[in-house]
Amino acid sequence: MGIVAGLDSSPDFTRIVVCDADSGAVLRQGYAPHPMDGAESGGRPSDVDPQAWLLSLGEAAGGGLLEGVQAIGVSSQQNAVVPLDSQGNTVRPAMVGGDKRAQVAAADLVDALGGREAWAQAVGCVPQAAQPVTKLRWLAKNEPDAAARTAVLLQAHDWLVWQLLGRPVRRTTDRGGASGTGYWSAATGGYRPDLVELALGHQAMLPEVIGPSDAAGTTPEGLLISAGTGETMAAALGLGIGLGDAVVSLGASGSVMAVHPEALVDQSGMITSLADATGMHLPVVTTLNAVRTLRGAAELVGAADLQGLSDLAMKSTPGSHGLVMLPYLEGERTPNLPHTAGTLAGLRRESMKPEHFARAAFEGMLCGLADALDVLRGRGVDVRRIFLLGAAAELPAVQAAAPALFGAQVVVPQPADYAAIGAARQAAWALGVSQGTLDPRNPPAWQGAAAQVLDPGEELAVGQAVRQQFVSVREQTHPGAFRP
């Protein structure tokens, strides 16, 4: 069928992979950081001129990288909002990332619609500070002139697709990207313009949501551009996850998502109901404490790094000699305990050793994520295989404990640009459908991610006993807080 490209514009850089359209084999790669003003002051800026994304895209594609490419898919950071005026010019820089500025705006919006349950029913998620709908509320309150001039709302991947197509009159997005905005419902497949008005103070033009295998259009040079999607959905497509699969991401905070055939409405707000890039759904449950738990533990026991903490933990045994850590260091979302702190239980003289504390940190982090998995399982989500992502997934202490604590086969994929690969797979799908060689309901069957596969095996019973120990301490310390 030829060759296709996937372009992933993350918060910091652009990555491009060029793939064989039939097998998914990566043929060429490009990379360039975004030129960022003020980035040297530490931390990521909350406002970014979207032209920076185009500049790094051009640099990453240099040296003839895209020669012979027939179609491009675009994946991009989620939660970025690009407000445009009626002429298509940016009203102000794009509002990106986990924008702490908008925390008050999020609480305002929750109250304005009548509480968390009302939002869960309306769009499948409760407003958080990072979400586009919350940023619109912040804009209306803090920059009313810019809010008043805002006529069109795009996300990062929508804006990039529109630019690649030469800024046509038609503006498009996909279900995956739209489902994270806070004003599109994965359950109904439709926008809630009333929520845009509630946040921004007036209506705005929203991009047309096109199907997973649809093309957004063709560039002036004749290059097919697929629908594009958010980074989470693109990574799921690149990994090749399907029904029965879940993905556990180990960052400072953690997240658990799974593929499910229908949207889940969760009135507690623990589940964020996203759509994926294939026509299915991606319910997501977040924990606030994952690798930050390990970093804190490493500092406390004087381990040089996480590998050192893992080596120490491996000197202990499952159950950490009775030590149990509830890792709620930043408060917690799952269970909903925003103002709590962590707990260390089961201290006895024989358990007061660095290796047992180190093991308890790993078990506490993984049991917290197992709680998040149980939220999904409790709603009928089938989880038979778990993909474990993030640098911490390589640690021996994580790999030793995760299969038995999660009660499922664990797959640790080799590091790769899965979001860019997913974007390329989407491009191959749209190209195949346009040529009549692929089914619009099924993406091309690409080779899955190269991975290490870990089974719970004989450790399952021991792991479940450790898990029960954690649950008992959680229930004693925070009775009734967790209701999966």
How distant, in Å, are the alpha carbons of 61, 153, 203 from that of 55?
A: 10, 21, 31
pLDDT (tens digit per residue) in 356-381: 999 999 999 999 999 999 999 999 99
Task: Report the alpha-carbon distance of residue 373 to residue 186 in Å, rounded.
Answer: 21
Angle, nearest 10°, between helix axes 193-200 and 103-113? 130
Q: At residue 39, does pLDDT exceed 70? A: no
Whether this prediction's pTM lies above 0.85 is answered by yes
Kindly give, in sequence order, each residue whose CB lies less than 8 Å from that of residue 127, ignoring residues fewer than 6 positions away: 106, 109, 110, 119, 133, 134, 182
Comparing C-alpha atoms, which of 157, 200, 151 is closest to residue 179? 157
* Structure confidence at residue 269 as a pLDDT band (50, 70, 90): confident
Task: Report the alpha-carbon distance of residue 248 to residue 460 in Å, rounded.
Answer: 19
349 burial (CB, 10 Å; 0-12 / 13-18 / 19+) is exposed
Dihedral pair phi/psi, residue 270, rounded to 5°:
-70, -30
Task: Report the alpha-carbon distance of residue 190 to residue 186 in Å, rounded.
Answer: 7
Q: At residue 464, does pLDDT exceed 70? A: yes
Task: Report the alpha-carbon distance of residue 311 to residue 226 in Å, rounded.
Answer: 46
Exposure pattern of 268-290 as b/e (b: 16+ CB <10 Å)?
Answer: ebbbbbbbbbbebbbbbbbbbbb
pLDDT (tens digit per residue) in 308-347: 999 999 999 999 999 999 999 999 999 999 899 999 999 9
Half-sphere exposure (CA, 13 Å, Cβ side) for 470? 30
CB 290 within 8 A of CB 369: yes
